């Protein structure tokens, strides 16, 4: 089942974008990141070691260079392309990826029903 997250026009000004989407299985708290090759990827908004949200501010999930995802509380760093933690208390663990599709300039969250 597909759920709308955002439009590409809305995302144009963001390097990362937080969202909450109501699905049949409940609310999905996630975020989108844009890679260096302009590809969009999505992850659940919780750290693999304490299951806390990663951000303190809306839509701010990246370090100051927009190169890595950061946990605002512990400054753990995660690769954009893989979600793998490369520094911090969860090194070696990974964020949970979410499946997305882009159709007609809309980003859709894809959840198996």
Interface residue list for ligand FES (CB under 6 A):
47, 49-50, 52, 71, 73-74, 76, 88-90
User: Which is it for the CA torsion 6, 45, 111, 37, positive or negative?
Assistant: positive
In the complex, the smallest distance separating the C-beta of residue 55 from ligand FES, rounded to whole angstroms, is: 11
The first and second tokens of residue 41, run together, are 């990827």
Q: Which lies closer to ligand FES via its Cβ, residue 73 or residue 100?
A: 73
- Check residue 58 and report its DSSP letter: T
How far apart are the C-alpha atoms of 88 and 20, rounded to whole Å?
Answer: 26
Q: Which lies closer to ligand FES via its Cβ, residue 2 or residue 89?
A: 89
How far apart are the C-alpha atoms of 101 and 68, rounded to whole Å?
Answer: 22
Q: Which lies closer to ligand FES via its Cβ, residue 46 or residue 59?
A: 46
How far apart are the C-alpha atoms of 33 and 31, rounded to whole Å?
Answer: 7
Q: Give me the residue whose beta carbon is nearest to ligand FES.
A: 47
In the complex, the smallest distance separating the C-beta of residue 48 from ligand FES, rounded to whole angstroms, is: 7
In the block, which residue shows the tokens 């979600």?
83
In the complex, the smallest distance separating the C-beta of residue 34 from ligand FES, rounded to whole angstroms, is: 22
């Amino acid at each position: 089942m597909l759920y709308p997250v955002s439009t590409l026009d809305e995302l144009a000004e963001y390097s990362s974008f937080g969202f909450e989407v109501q699905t049949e299985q409940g609310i999905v708290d996630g975020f989108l990141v844009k890679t260096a090759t302009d590809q969009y990827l999505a992850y659940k908004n919780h750290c693999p070691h304490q299951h806390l949200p990663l951000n303190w501010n809306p839509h701010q999930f990246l370090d100051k260079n927009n190169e890595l995802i950061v946990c605002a509380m512990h400054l753990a760093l995660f690769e954009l392309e893989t979600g793998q933690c490369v520094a911090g208390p969860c090194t070696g663990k990974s964020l949970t990826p979410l499946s997305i599709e882009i159709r007609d300039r809309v980003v859709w969250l894809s959840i198996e029903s």
